[in-house]
Amino acid sequence: MDAAAMVDLALNWTTVPPQRICEVHAPLPRSPLKMRKHASEQLRIETDGCVGSSNGDRGVVYLEHVQAKVSLISFHF
Q: Identify the CA nearest to 54 among candidates 27, 20, 11, 24.
A: 20
Q: Using a cut of 0.75, tell me whether the model's pTM lies above it.
A: no
Positions of the chain with pLDDT under 70 = 54-57, 77
> CA dihedral defined by 23, 25, 26, 28, rounded to 10 degrees?
170
Q: Give the pLDDT confidence score for residue 18 in this predicted structure.
A: 79
Residue ranges of alpha helices (H) inside the chain are 3-11
Q: Give the pLDDT confidence score for residue 75 in this predicted structure.
A: 77
Helix (H, G, I), strand (E, B) or coil at 3: helix
DSSP at 53: B
Express each pLDDT in 17-30 by its tens digit.
777 788 888 888 88
Could you give the CA distance from residue 58 to residue 6 in angstroms, rounded to a whole number?
Answer: 32
The residue type at 41: E
